[in-house]
Structure 1
Amino acid sequence: MRIRATLNGLSLRLDGNETPEALRKALAEVPELPLEVEVSGEIGVEVLEVLCELGRERGLNLRPPRGERFIPYTEVVSQTLRAGQRVESPGTVVVLGDVNSGAEVIAGGDVIVVGKLRGLAHAGAGGNEEATIWATVFEAKQIRIAHHVAQAPDDPHTARSPERARVAEGRIVLEPWGKR
Structure 2
Amino acid sequence: MSGTHSNSSRIRMSGRSFLALTLTPETPLVDWLAALDHQIQRAVGFFAGKPVILDLSLMQADTPDLPHLLPALQERGIRVLGIEGGDRSWPAVADWAWPESPMGGRASGPVSIPEGEKTPTLAPTLVVEESVRSGQHIIWPDGDVVILGAVSSGAEVTAGGSVHIYGALRGRAIAGIGGNADSRIFTRNLAAELVAIDGFYATAEEMDAQCTGKPTQVMLAGETLVFKPLP
Displacement of 1:177 in angstroms is 2.1
Which structure shows the bigger proportion of residues in strand conformation? Answer: 1
1:14-29 to 2 correspondence within 5 Å? Answer: none
Q: 1:113 aligns with which of 161, 165, 171?
A: 165
**Distance in 2 between the 1:133 and 1:97 partners?**
15
Q: 2:138 — aligned with what?
A: 87
**Distance in 2 between the 1:128 and 1:106 partners?**
12
Point out the more displaced range, 153-162 or 105-114: 153-162
Residue 173, structure 1, aligned to residue 201, structure 2? no
Point out the more displaced range, 156-165 or 168-177: 156-165
TM-score for both structures, normalised by structure 1: 0.56
Q: 1:126 — aligned with what?
A: 178
**Distance in 1 between the 2:186 and 2:128 partners?**
15
**Distance in 1 between the 2:146 and 2:226 partners?**
20
| Cα distance change on mapping 1:117 and 1:146 into 2, 3 Å | same
Displacement of 1:156 in angstroms is 9.0
**Distance in 2 between the 1:162 and 1:71 partners?**
28
**Distance in 1 between the 2:160 and 2:154 partners?**
20
Displacement of 1:158 in angstroms is 5.8
Q: Any stretches of 5+ residues in structure 2 without a counterpart?
A: 1-120
Letter in 1 for 2:156: E
**Distance in 2 between the 1:106 and 1:71 partners?**
19
Residue 99, structure 1, aligned to residue 128, structure 2? no
Give the secondary-structure state (helix, strand or coil) at the position aligned to 2:192.
Answer: coil
**Distance in 1 between the 2:132 and 2:155 partners?**
6
1:134-173 to 2 correspondence within 5 Å? Answer: 134-153=186-205, 157=209, 159=211, 161-173=214-226
Letter in 2 for 1:143: V
Q: 1:73 — aligned with what?
A: 124
* Higher alpha-carbon Rg: 1
Q: Any stretches of 5+ residues in structure 1 without a counterpart?
A: 1-69
Percentage identity across paired residues of the two chains:
37
| Cα distance change on mapping 1:79 and 1:162 into 2, 3 Å | same
Letter in 2 for 1:83: S
RMSD of aligned residue pairs (Cα, Å): 2.1
Q: 2:32 — aligned with what?
A: none
**Distance in 2 between the 1:73 and 1:102 partners?**
26
| Cα distance change on mapping 1:170 and 1:157 into 2, 3 Å | same
Letter in 2 for 1:130: D
Displacement of 1:153 in angstroms is 2.2
**Distance in 2 between the 1:148 and 1:92 partners?**
18
Give the secondary-structure state (helix, strand or coil) at the position aligned to 1:153.
Answer: helix
Displacement of 1:157 in angstroms is 3.7
Deviations 1:55-103 (A, max 9, x none): xxxxxxxxxxxxxxx7611111000111111111121000001000111
Task: State whether residues 100 and 118 of structure 1, in contact with CA within 8 Å, keep that contact through their aligned partners in structure 2.
Answer: yes
Give the secondary-structure state (helix, strand or coil) at the position aligned to 1:129.
Answer: coil
Letter in 1 for 2:158: I
**Distance in 2 between the 1:156 and 1:78 partners?**
29
